[in-house]
Structure 1
Amino acid sequence: MSEELENKDDFVKFDDEVSDDKKKSGIEDEISKIFKSADSLIEILEKIAPQINSDKVVNPEAFLKIIKPLCISVENTLPMLMECQDNLEYLKDDNSFVLRQKIAHIEDDLLPPIIEYIRAHDKKD
């Protein structure tokens, strides 16, 4: 009987310890959601990039109507991602570096060709 009690992982937790655990899981959930949104942005931009680079766009006017709002949405999302990255860095969370790499990939690699495409094709109109 005493062995059963020793083997059980039942712990008594005080209210502040329980709330700390809930806060940690809440923060981890938020980090997970932010990573998912950053990954989905990257996935969408990576699907658009080959079409822009190869000029395989069949209907440039319709394509512009799609990518302009998308580009604005991405540009509006970047400050939120940067703020989250700053907060993670402040908390000394290892995810800070990973999120910074995702932001840099969006800013440096994926977004500039789309912006250039919009500028080039808006001038033609």
Structure 2
Amino acid sequence: MSNGNIESQKIVELCESKGFLAKKLFTVKTYSAGNLDEVLANVEEHLKFQVELERKGIMFAAGPVFTEDGEEWDGEGLVIIRAASLEEADRIMASDPMHSSGARLYKIRPWLLNEGSLTVRISYSDGKREII
């Protein structure tokens, strides 16, 4: 057994052979460049950008990440996107107004979605929807 790293393609092949989803996505950790006033000044344009990514089918999920105790927000966020390559993911994230303004910095990592589920409940009578 190796004590080093394993080639990512071997992990993909293993997951696929076991019947897992093996959906290739990209996680983006975004964090304040040091000035939360700048982050807040760019929130409106950032949110418009995020909604546009969602509309285009690029956005898988996104939202703020709170401090460990859940009591505060220091400007950190997590974004998961669909992209054909790391380079494409970087182009997408670089065009986010939050990043292009310098208010936030980001780190991208390829991610393999294998396990989990999504349950959506829609009530026909009142149009209410809930993600469980």
Q: TM-score, normalised by structure 2?
A: 0.26
Q: TM-score, normalised by structure 1?
A: 0.27
Q: If each structure's strand is expressed as a fraction of its own residues, which one has the higher value?
A: 2
Q: Which has the larger radius of gyration?
A: 1
